[in-house]
């Protein structure tokens, strides 16, 4: 499964591998909506910011993101899906509050790095229902409250706990990515 997802990602199309069985207690997930939650860097957005974080640390990451806050991030493997879901929401004859499609971003980013995310989404013309800037805090409580049908993340650290409360898919880095050396 991971090899198949890797081939698809390397072909520049979104893919994920479900590495853990979904939790058994999914009764609380709403049946009248489709809820999808995404991580940000290396999932919705390209991996350049994640590379800075892993290679140079949190302080350099925050400084770089603050300086580049008016420069939209490049698209990551799930950007096209996010854009299509957002367009679908716009076309449905429901108010945003009653939409059957709900989108959330659950990211470890925090101030000052959150402004680049907000401005990138505006640049893309994308609306998300909820966005959580957790500043490195555990994502599980937020995911449990949002109750997505699936959550996509690139980091095993987050997926290990998330997969205990919601179905979770690992988004692999492209084979050519320098992030693969940081992941081992």
Q: Which residues are catalytic?
A: 39
- Cα–Cα distance, 175 to 64 (Å, whole number): 25
3-class secondary-structure state, position 142: helix
Helices (H), 72-172: 79-91, 114-124, 140-146, 156-162
**Count of alpha carbons within 13 Å of 149, Cβ hemisphere only?**
11
Q: What is the DSSP letter of 43?
A: T
Q: What residues have CB less than 8 Å from 97, skipping those under 6 apart?
A: none
Partners of 158 in the beta sheet? none
Check if the beta carbon of residue 131 is closer than 8 Å to that of residue 150: no
- Cα–Cα distance, 71 to 73 (Å, whole number): 6
């Amino acid at each position: 499964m991971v090899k198949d997802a890797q081939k698809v990602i390397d072909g520049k199309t979104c893919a994920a591998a479900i590495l853990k069985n979904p939790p058994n207690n999914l009764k609380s997930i709403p049946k009248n909506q489709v809820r999808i939650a995404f991580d940000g860097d290396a999932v919705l957005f390209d991996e350049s910011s994640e590379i800075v974080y892993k290679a140079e640390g949190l302080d350099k990451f925050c400084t770089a993101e603050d300086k580049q806050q008016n420069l939209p991030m490049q698209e990551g493997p799930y950007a096209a899906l996010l854009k299509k879901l957002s367009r679908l929401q716009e076309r449905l004859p429901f108010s945003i509050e009653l939409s059957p499609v709900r989108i959330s971003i659950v990211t470890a980013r925090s101030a000052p790095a959150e402004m680049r995310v907000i401005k990138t989404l505006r640049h893309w013309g994308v609306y998300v229902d909820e966005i959580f800037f957790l500043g490195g805090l555990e994502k599980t409580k937020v995911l449990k409250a949002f109750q997505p049908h699936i959550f996509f993340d690139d980091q095993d650290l987050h997926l290990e706990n998330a997969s205990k409360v919601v179905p979770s898919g690992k988004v692999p880095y492209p084979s050519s990515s320098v992030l693969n050396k940081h992941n081992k």
